Structure 1
Amino acid sequence: MVSPTYFESRWNLGDALSDMALFERVEVVRGATGLMTGTGNPSAAINMVRKHATSREFKGDVSAEYGSWNKERYVADLQSPLTEDGKIRARIVGGYQNNDSWLDRYNSEKAFFSGIVDADLGDLTMLSAGYEYQRIDVNSPTWGGLPRWNTDGSSNSYDRARSTAPDWAYNDKEINKVFMTLKQRFADTWQATLNATHSEVEFDSKMMYVDAYVNKADGMLVGPYSNYGPGFDYVGGTGWNSGKRKVDALDLFADGSYELFGRQHNLMFGGSYSKQNNRYFSSWANIFPDEIGSFYNFNGNFPQTDWSPQSLAQDDTTHMKSLYAATRVTLADPLHLILGARYTNWRVDTLTYSMEKNHTTPYAGLVFDINDNWSTYASYTSIFQPQNDRDSSGKYLTPITGNNYELGLKSDWMNSRLTTTLAIFRIEQDNVAQSTGTPIPGSNGETAYKAVDGTVSKGVEFELNGAITDNWQLTFGATRYIAEDNEGNAVNPNLPRTTVKMFTSYRLPVMPELTVGGGVNWQNRVYTDTVTPYGTFRAEQGSYALVDLFTRYQVTKNFSLQGNVNNLFDKTYDTNVEGSIVYGAPRNFSITGTYQF
């Protein structure tokens, strides 16, 4: 398990995006999760479960994948005992990937490695320690997307391969992490766990962005702030950004059962601490219309900026300290009460100011077991979510606070082989970030935000997971919600209000070596209204579905082949209606061979 850590995401450094080959599984915990994590989105939390050395004999697998846009990927996963009795074990995972893209000039190269040692230090103590490394080098990455609007208010459309990235642009990252987990059992019913993580991420990038309107007559670009006067007619910029992020996280907790009034109950309590420092340097320059010429002719052949020396752009340190406790009390055989609270002290220190907040997150839940298969529940918790968005003065917005209410019905069949959940929810939030549509003065084009109070989201969600039969697996989920501010206006209409997701796989009884399957992701229409010097324009993406297919054949006991098709019907869709045009991936293919031993 990864220690609960909050990442400042204004610069995407990839430290929260480790390659999935390093993890055993990903768990999605739905609903507000402030009691467990201290911060986070009120809709869900992601728990990344690392691979561990679990085998007392040598075993492993290797795989090779080839696909669209010259993709090649190789992964090895090996584990072995280090002692004869198998009480000390090791596991290493390493891989390499290189691929182009549907975008012109783009190339990405990635190498990753993880090594972990698991040791049983007696019957009651377990220690895990490991190291993770990842390097990602991207050539000609995009920084934003393609100009959406013409000066007459009409919207542009482009070939999906079109890119604003010049030949010289790059974005390189290097990630180093060390992590440790110590578990100590006490008697039969109690266990204490200590998780510790230290990570360092370095990045260096030189990139270019375009932010402008297009004159349809000649393709010349017009800057969004050109009406402010001389010097404001820039249509984009270049940036040379580099820096380092350091994160330290520590989490200590104990959980177990206790007896009270003749019944067994559960208790969990603990504390956590994290410190994150972001130190970034920057050099940037504006781009003016004559430097690009007609955008219709732009092909990435743009001269590199004569860079000035970098200056310190950001030096922020965020501290978060938490204490928490929760108990599950059995009031009667079918009735359980869950009570908990988390106290969080959050502080950020920047070059120009400091901000500190204290927040107590209560949690209360009631679960009633209707019978062996069905249960119903009700829950309440508060929300505390620090933000990365800044206002027009450059200060971070205060954390989002609010309340989350949920009522649900769950079922469990065939010893949890098949589960269903139906829930209705209401989320109340203050200090929600809303774009002002204007940049922060003196920033490199960063958008300023304002805090909005009284945001209310309410909706319903259904989910089904598991085995329909011995050969048929199905995951299905559907969500519908509305979100409005205190004046009844839609909040963040760029996010879909209705989503439907389904994934299924079926092993043919007449040919058990063959498994076929696929998935569908559907979302409804999204839009954003943007105020421009030429009027208010609405960017819109209609509802669409993406269909994926796969087939897997077990050639021998140890060797399998799998083929995947993503975006089967080659749907063209825009992923960024709140800004410039960013197209999603076209139809693409891959084939993977895996050998296990």
Structure 2
Amino acid sequence: MSRTTRSRMTSTGFGLAMTLAMTPYVQAQEWTLNIPAQPLAQALQTLGQQTNLQIIYSPESIQNLRSSALNGRYQEDDSLGALLKGTGIRHQRDGNTVTLLAPATGNAMELAPTSINGQRLGATTEGSNSYTTGAVTIGKGEHSLKETPQSVTVITRKMLDDQNLNTIEQVMEKTPGITVYDSPMGGKYFYSRGFRMTGQYQYDGVPLDIGSSYVQADAFSSDMAIYDRVEVLRGAAGMMKGAGGTAGGVNFVRKRGQDTPHTQLSLSAGTWDNYRGQVDTGGPLNDAGTIRGRAVVTQQTRQYFYDVGERRDQIYYGALDFDLSDYTTLGLGMAYEDIDATPCWGGLPRYADGSDLKLSRSTCLNTAWNNQRSKRATYFGDLKHEFNDNWALKVAGVYSKNTQDMEYAFPSGSVPVGATSSSTLMIGSIFDYDQVDYGLDAYVDGKFNAFGQEHELIVGANASRSHKDDFFAVALLPQTQNVLNPNHHLPQPDESFYLPNATRGGPVDMRIKQYGAYSMARLKLADPLTFVLGSRVSWYKSETDSVSFWRGEGTPISSEAKETGQVTPFAALLFDINDNLTVYTSYADIFTPQGNYKTITGSTLKPLIGQSYELGIKGEWFDGRLNSSFNLFRTIQKDEAQDDPACPDSTCSLNSGKVRAQGFEAEVSGEVIDRLQLLAGYTYTQTKVLEDADVSQDGVSYNSYVPRHLLRVWGDYALSGPLERVTVGAGVNAQSGNYRVSPTSNNNVTQAGFAVWNGRIGYRIDDTWSVALNGNNLFDKRYYATVGTEGFGNFYGEPRNFVMSVKADF
């Protein structure tokens, strides 16, 4: 028996002129549908999600039947007939309830019917054909966006597919409110509301400690092929894990075993020899459908717009879901990823005064023997048990092992103003890195009645451990690089060269343990008023043992950071103006241990504290198919470790820093009008140093390379009539100027504001095959995606490029 799905709706919402978009639904004489030919059960599920129908049927009676494809506008009474054409199945309709009839007798189907309630989207976004979702799980349990008193953006499966977002870096570049910053040492950092995301990452709701400060940027190479959606929270996320930064958190939600058989083949080819192939298949593995499976295999090889860069990815994923009973489900999964790349790290330098060298965008100053080899194996498991209609238990665990071996060289040094040739020192490095992470999360979520109202309570605990064991060495190479005429074939040193000549390096063994207990109550004070109160108590310990090498001489170093019983509260108040709009205000805080820093007296520093305040309005429109939001935010971060000017050898610190970020955000996601899916977000962020050990820094921008204005827009429109097989997409990433102050010369390295336009056109050939052409940076805007210093760290954005993709659904 197929499992009954009940969905709850999400929403983000500001209600600016939304009544204009309501008209097509209020007068709903027709439906706009986009349902490919597929197994009938899956097509009925999709029809329910795209309409307001509740469909009742017997799974056994439609087994092995396939639907016809629907694409365009259909009269309400004609849509089911068109979908069921050729199957022999008939139907009866009573209002919004439809009962399917067996072909032989015309009697209503029996045998434990499945009910599809199509009025709401669910948390799972795959197959919804939507840029929004019915529920988010990043904050424990499932709640609509309108019920979530913090800012959350969900990048759905349709958004991932429409824009060919295959890596987490690409996802974050398209997410409203997120700034992506290239790390000179490889990978990318993510910034939200002026602060860098550190440590606040979840896999299926399980928090993990991913990466130390110099590895974290490259820790999220995971391919998006294995995920259903990515949930991004902006603001302090102390309830998620405890220790972390004030920027926010990310939850990666994986694909699961499917109720109905379905296979998708996809091939793509793009600029710079970018080739990708993928097989995604799944379905029930027994007659009862109580065991469901999923398998994804992805291969990609590509070069880049710059010299010498190339990369090969292999991704393998498998998942099984078991219905142990009508109330208990066990899910298991495994993902393996293998990356072999020749990266171009370090970026480009500038002139000594910070001005642009205006080098060709194809310029890479690295050597051709640069190499990165990364392997990651991740294992997932979760168990969900429903005690009754109101109370449920979920236990989930994740284990991940990552190994990385790297060897690279890049130049570091500015170019004299007006020079026609410039020899710059080359920094070489070897890096051998192993990390094991595992986490466990368990909570009970339930509803209860008291004082004439229904309330909700979540009580749980989680724990995570991380062990990082690495060896690295950094040394100046004997050769120099001519920045204006680079040589990619400089001699590759033997590994024995590094330690005797290392200016930095050595073995590092780091162990992090974190665990805590949390609870959250959603108390209905009155019909329109909900008070949310939560708290987490955390225990944290990190231990680091290392040997710091300087030209062959090693110095053992040990440090420890520990926090016991650290409390991070959360509070919010929500007021329902009407069925569509909710006003809310919330407070959250978080801490970052700093016990590895010592004061002048030898005592450890207090943890850094981050506090987030938010006031906003959220909306849920058209049965949750459109969400909108507007909020004002302010984040205070204080007690940051800074050098103590009274310390004679600059080896001691003090808690003295205090900074502020504030601004506002607006976002719309979902179907704004008939046939148009949209994700659009605007963010205004202002950062300021309030207190600093160096008083000359008071009042300056805390993070000048986070742009003050940030716009992310992407829309996809399905044409109708003779062009009903065609979809057209377009979008823009725009931002105001940003800059970085050089730490050595105080020169500003700047990038003026820019806008990058992207587009897509898709065509459905028949019920099985479809093609699409994506174009990125259509007007070939020349810009720096990341600004660094005069010496290195400046990265160009991608020039104009195209990707052609072909898909087949069976």
User: One fold, TM greater than 0.5?
Assistant: yes
Question: Which AA in structure 2 matches 1:184?
Answer: H
Q: Return the alpha-carbon distance in structure 1 between the equivalents of residues 643 and 286 of structure 2.
A: 58
Counterpart residue number, 1:590: 803
Q: Distance in 1 between matches of 2:735 and 2:642?
A: 22
Q: Within 2, Cα distance between the matches of 1:24 and 1:327?
A: 28
Instruction: Give the equivalent residue in structure 2 for 1:84.
Output: 287
Q: CA deviation at 1:267?
A: 0.5
SS of alignment partner, residue 213 of structure 1: coil
Mapped to 2, the partners of 1:18 and 1:433 lie a distance apart of: 32
TM-score norm. by structure 2 comes to 0.67
Matches within 5 A, 1:243-392: 243-287=433-477, 291-292=479-480, 294-308=482-496, 312-351=506-545, 352-358=558-564, 359-385=566-592
Q: 5+ residue gaps in structure 2?
A: 1-203, 500-504, 546-557, 691-697
Q: 3-state DSSP class of the match of 1:21?
A: helix
Alignment map for 1:382-461 (pairs within 5 Å):
382-385=589-592, 400-432=608-640, 453-461=657-665
What do residues 444-482 of structure 1 show as CA deviations (whole Å, max 9, x unaligned)?
xxxx99976210111111111121222112222111121
Matched, 1:556 2:739: no
Query: How far apart are 1:312 and its partner, in Å?
Result: 4.3
CA distance in 2, matches of 1:302, 1:435: 39
Q: Using the alignment, how far apart are the partners of 1:557 and 1:433 within structure 2?
A: 60
In structure 2, the partner of 1:241 is 431
Q: Look up the equivalent residue of 1:494 and give its one-letter code.
A: Y
* Alignment match of 1:502 (pick from 698, 707, 713): 713
Q: Which residue of 2 aligns with 1:488?
A: 699
1:463 paired to 2:656: no
Contact 1:15 1:175 (C-alpha < 8 Å) held by counterparts: no
Aligned to 2:73: none
* More displaced 10-residue stretch of structure 1: 495-504 or 379-388: 379-388
Which aligned pairs between 1:56-75 and structure 2 lie closer than 5 A?
A: 57-75=260-278
Instruction: Please tell me whether residue 98 in structure 1 is matched to residue 283 in structure 2.
Output: no
Q: Is the CA contact 2:587–2:613 (under 8 Å) kept in the aligned structure 1?
A: yes
User: Identity over the aligned pairs, expressed in percent?
Assistant: 31
CA contact (8 A) 2:206 2:439 kept: yes
Deviations 1:287-337 (A, max 9, x none): 35xx22533222212110132177842110111111100010000001100
- Aligned residue for 2:673, secondary structure, equals coil
SS state at 1:116 partner = strand
Once residues 497 and 23 of structure 1 are traced to their aligned partners in structure 2, the CA distance between those partners, rounded to angstroms, is 31
Which structure 1 segments of 5+ residues have no match?
A: 223-234, 442-447
2:669 partner amino acid = N
Find the partner of 1:114 among 317, 341, 360. 317
One-letter identity of the residue aligned with 1:586: P
CA contact (8 A) 1:268 1:327 kept: yes
- Taking the aligned partners of 2:262 and 2:224, their CA distance within structure 1 comes to 20
Alpha carbons of structure 1 residues 331 and 531: separation in structure 2 relative to 1, 3 Å = closer
Query: What is the rounded CA distance, in whole Å, between the counterparts of 2:362 and 2:653 in structure 1?
Result: 31
Q: CA deviation at 1:282?
A: 2.0
Of 517-526 and 423-432, more deviation after overlay is shown by 423-432
C-alpha change, 1:293 and 1:54, in structure 2 (3 Å) is closer
* Deviation (angstroms), 1:97: 0.1
Q: Distance in 1 between matches of 2:619 and 2:248?
A: 20
Greater gyration radius: 2
Partner of 1:24: 228
- Contact 1:550-1:565 at 8 Å conserved across structures: yes
Q: Which has the larger share of strand? A: 1
Is 1:546 the counterpart of 2:756 in the alignment?
yes
The code of the aligned residue for 1:17 comes to S
Bigger shift: 487-496 or 384-393? 384-393
Higher relative contact order (CA 8 A, sep 6+): 2
Give 1:173-184 correspondences, 5 Å limit: 173-184=374-385
Change (3 A) 1:552 1:509: same
Match of 1:195 among 396, 402, 405: 396
The Cα shift of 1:576 comes to 2.5
- Closer/same/farther in 2, CA of residues 502 and 293 from structure 1, 3 Å limit: closer
Q: Deviations over 1:181-206 (max 9, x none)?
A: 11111111111111111111011111
One-letter amino acid of the counterpart of residue 369, structure 1: D
Return the offset for 1:13: 7.7
Partner of 2:734: 522
Cα 1:163–1:362 change in 2 (3 A) is same
Are residues 286 and 162 of structure 1, via their aligned partners in 2, closer, same or farther at CA, if it must alter by over 3 Å? Answer: same
Relative to structure 1, the CA distance from residue 353 to residue 386 in structure 2 (aligned partners, 3 Å threshold; closer, same or farther) is closer
**Aligned-residue CA RMSD in angstroms?**
2.6
Counterpart check, 1:11 vs 2:221: no
Aligned with residue 373 of structure 2, among 137, 152, 172: 172
Say which SS state the counterpart of residue 489 (structure 1) adopts. coil
Cα deviations across residues 181-240 of structure 1 (Å, max 9, x unaligned)? 111111111111111111110111110121112234452346xxxxxxxxxxxx231111
For the 8 Å contact 2:354–2:748, the answer to whether it is kept is: no
* Residue 398 of structure 1, CA deviation: 7.0
Amino acid paired to 1:354: E
Deviation at 1:408, TM superposition (A): 0.7
Q: Which amino acid aligns with 1:113?
A: Y
Using the alignment, how far apart are the partners of 2:599 and 2:311 within structure 1?
Answer: 35
Per the TM alignment, residue 156 of structure 1 is displaced from its structure 2 partner at its CA by: 1.9
TM-score, with structure 1 as normaliser: 0.90
